[in-house]
Amino acid sequence: GYAKGNNIGLKYLSRNNYKYTFILNPDIKFKNINVFDVLFNYLMNHPEVGIIAPRIILPNGEVQNPYRRDDVYSAFLNLSFPVSDIIINLIKKIEIKLLGYVKVYSAIGCFYGLNLLIMDKIKYFDEVTFLYNEEQIIGERLLKSGYKFVYLPRVNVIHNHDYNSTPINYNLF
pLDDT of residue 64: 86
Distance CA 108, CA 91 (A): 21
pLDDT of residue 85: 65
What number is the average pLDDT over the span 44-63? 94
- Is the predicted pLDDT of residue 92 greater than 80, yes or no? no
What number is the average pLDDT over the span 143-160? 93
Distance, first Cα to last Cα, the chain:
25
Distance CA 139, CA 150 (A): 10
Percent of the chain, pLDDT > 90?
54
123 confidence band (pLDDT: 50, 70, 90): very high
Nearest partner of 49 among 132, 166, 145, judged by Cα: 145
Tally Cβ neighbours within 10 Å of residue 50: 28
Distance CA 93, CA 102 (A): 9
pLDDT of residue 28: 95
130 vs 18, 118, 154, CA distance in Å? 26, 22, 31
11-32 pLDDT per residue, tens? 999 999 999 999 999 999 998 8
Distance CA 10, CA 154 (A): 26
